[in-house]
A and B are shown apart, each in its own frame.
Chain A
Amino acid sequence: MDIFLSGLMAVTPQQIVMWIIAGTLIYLAVAKDFEPALLLPMGFGAIMVNLPMSGAITQVIQGTAVEGVLNVLFDMGIATELFPLLIFIGIGAMIDFGPILHNPFMLLFGAAAQFGIFFTVAVATLAGFSIKEAAAIGIIGAADGPTSIYVANQFAKELLGPISVAAYSYMALVPVIQPPAIRLVTTKEERQIRMHYKAENVSQTTRIVFPIVITILTGLVAPNAVPLIGFLMFGNLLRECGVLDRLAKSAQNELVNIVTILLGLTISTTMQAERFLTPQTGLIIGMGLIAFVFDTIGGVLFAKLINLFRKEKINPMIGAAGISAFPMSARVIQKMAQKEDSQNFILMYAVGANVGGQIASVLAGGLILMLVQSL
């Protein structure tokens, strides 16, 4: 009988707290539809790794290490960066770069809205984190889960759990975080600025050449960004080449779905109570919010700066759509614009900035990897 009770007797209060956190993640995924594809596997995995003597993670039994399946998956898919990169192929196959190709100006907003990353790095150093840990925390502001995991895994493996939870939670909370941040730095008149959209087509050749040229260009300037941008652009080439529809569909569906399940479950190995329940976790969750808020503010202020030099004014809310959370951020901006003026349709511009944010966030990840190592 004792053998069956040994697990129950070994439960620690910290593990019970982790069960509650895991339950919250599952609740947010199921009841609130917050990034369910990632938060549900992470929540369930967090339960599995926080059971006493869980066989899902590596345990030392009588001096011998018995490998757990989640640790095997972690070593195979996250320590090697494989899972986040494979997800990028799928994301690339899903993105239509059309809005950027016929209005490349919107790319600049994608760049401006990465400001939150670097602002948060500075805040994190003031909170006592090393520059590498701060960079891993700041990258939550990329608003892009795979990029956050990719960078955090290289700079601060021990912080991967809280960084992943913060990145995916705040991505889901974009409709809650962005509107007040935008209102803080814009006037009602600015939010009512109308922008007239002229639909233009882009040639098929441009769509095919674009991912190839961007990979070469970025690779020459920022070699560390090649895996991130290269896998993203490869996925997009599958989509646009016109002769690999079957592979493009597999990348968009089967590949992303399978890797997402494995990524979510595997990330949970970093959510073991003794590693997760630290004061640092609270700080990281708080700084993730700062990153998202200052991304938004950075994008809006950049749009206002551009307006000083333009005859035809831009609705500054477009700048806030320059984050990578696609298409949620663009939808939030359109909703806000229509709330101020029911006849204002800025969705296509917002989508352009949002797609620009996807490219810029990946670039930011690559640049941070390169620059931090050179500091």
Chain B
Amino acid sequence: MNETFLMSLELMWRGMSGIFSIVFLIYLMIKLLNKVFPVK
């Protein structure tokens, strides 16, 4: 199979897993911020 295409599939896997990982970290960070700095 086309080598560039295989690279693009690897990019898809690493890119989507990377975005979800960072977004999940941001999600946890927001949860933490809302706990540490609640609305008074």
List residues of A whose CB falls within 8 A of some B CB. 100-102, 104-105, 107-108, 110-111, 114-115, 117-119, 121-122, 124-126, 129-131, 134-135, 200-203, 205-206, 209-210, 213-214, 217-218, 221-222, 356, 359-360, 363-364, 367-368, 371-372, 375
For chain B, residues 1 to 40, give those with C-beta under 8 angstroms from any C-beta of chain A: 2, 4-5, 7-12, 14-16, 18-27, 29-31, 33-34, 37-40
Query: Are A210 and B19 in contact, with the CB atoms below 8 A?
Result: no
List residues of B whose CB falls within 8 A of some A CB. 2, 4-5, 7-12, 14-16, 18-27, 29-31, 33-34, 37-40
B-chain residues with CB within 8 Å of residue A371 when the two chains form the complex: 11, 14-15, 18
Query: Are A101 and B29 in contact, with the CB atoms below 8 A?
Result: no
Instruction: Report how far A292 CA is from B16 CA in the complex, Å.
Output: 16
Top 9 closest pairs, chain A to chain B, by CB = A118-B12, A205-B37, A104-B30, A122-B8, A111-B23, A125-B4, A125-B8, A206-B33, A203-B37
Query: Are B27 and A367 in contact, with the CB atoms below 8 A?
Result: no
Task: Write the nearest CB–CB distance from B4 to chain A, whole angstroms.
Answer: 4
Query: Are B22 and A218 in contact, with the CB atoms below 8 A?
Result: yes
Taking A121-B8, A125-B4, A214-B29 as known contacts, 16 extra A-B pairs with beta carbons closer than 8 A to each other, sorted by chain A number, are: A104-B27, A105-B27, A107-B26, A108-B20, A111-B16, A111-B23, A122-B8, A125-B2, A125-B8, A202-B34, A205-B37, A206-B33, A206-B34, A209-B33, A363-B23, A364-B19
Query: Are A107 and B27 in contact, with the CB atoms below 8 A?
Result: yes
Instruction: Report how far A110 CA is from B33 CA in the complex, Å.
Output: 20
B-chain residues with CB within 8 Å of residue A114 when the two chains form the complex: 15-16, 19
Choice from B5, B22, B39 contacting A201 with Cβ under 8 Å = B39
Of chain B, the residue at the smallest CB distance from A200 is B39
Query: Are B15 and A117 in contact, with the CB atoms below 8 A?
Result: yes
Query: Are B18 and A222 in contact, with the CB atoms below 8 A?
Result: yes
Given A371-B11, A375-B11, CB of A360 within 8 Å of CB of B19:
yes
Choice from A126, A202, A360 contacting B23 with Cβ under 8 Å = A360
Task: Write the nearest CB–CB distance from A73 to chain B, whole angstroms.
Answer: 32
B-chain residues with CB within 8 Å of residue A222 when the two chains form the complex: 18, 22
Of chain B, the residue at the smallest CB distance from A101 is B30
Query: Are B4 and A134 in contact, with the CB atoms below 8 A?
Result: yes
Given A214-B29, A363-B22, CB of A375 within 8 Å of CB of B10:
yes
Count the A-B residue pairs with Cβ separation under 8 angstroms: how many?
117
Cβ contacts A to B, 12 pairs, < 8 Å: A102-B34, A114-B15, A118-B8, A118-B16, A125-B5, A130-B4, A201-B39, A206-B33, A221-B22, A363-B23, A364-B15, A367-B18
Instruction: Report how far A115 CA is from B2 CA in the complex, Å.
Output: 21
Instruction: Report how far A338 CA is from B11 CA in the complex, Å.
Output: 38
Choice from A124, A203, A375 contacting B38 with Cβ under 8 Å = A203
Query: Are A210 and B30 in contact, with the CB atoms below 8 A?
Result: yes
Query: Are B33 and A372 in contact, with the CB atoms below 8 A?
Result: no
Choice from B18, B23, B39 contacting A108 with Cβ under 8 Å = B23
Instruction: Report how far A107 CA is from B25 CA in the complex, Å.
Output: 11
B-chain residues with CB within 8 Å of residue A217 when the two chains form the complex: 22, 25-26, 29
Instruction: Report how far A100 CA is from B11 CA in the complex, Å.
Output: 27
B-chain residues with CB within 8 Å of residue A121 when the two chains form the complex: 8, 11-12
